[in-house]
Amino acid sequence: MQQKSLLSLDIGKTYILSHVDLQGALRHRILDLGFTEGAEIKCLFKAQSGSPLAFLIRGSVIALRKADAEKIFVL
């Protein structure tokens, strides 16, 4: 199965989080928010400009910048 970044997700569909390709404090913060391997994630919103994007993960809605979303991958 091919991995794709959060940028390419279809709105309303659910995916399984594969891995996070971020470093340092941002990586730790993203992991603390529940973006961990195996978590179900659903894309709720994409701004026309591409940023922000909103996702439902572990019962919370989290908005991410485009630059961060392109470094988080799902199956």
Q: What domains are defined for the chain?
A: 4-74 (2.30.30.90)
State the chain's maximal CA–CA distance in angstroms.
Answer: 30
Q: Does the pLDDT at position 1 exceed 80?
A: no
Task: Quote the pLDDT of residue 30.
Answer: 97
- Residue 2 — pLDDT band, cuts 50, 70, 90? confident
Q: Does the pLDDT at position 14 exceed 90?
A: yes
pLDDT digits (tens, 9 = 90+) for 16-65: 999 999 999 999 999 999 999 999 999 999 999 889 999 999 999 999 99
Whole-model pTM: value is 0.92
What DSSP string runs through 22-65?
--HHHHHHHHHTT--TT-EEEEEEE-TTS--EEEEETTEEEEE-
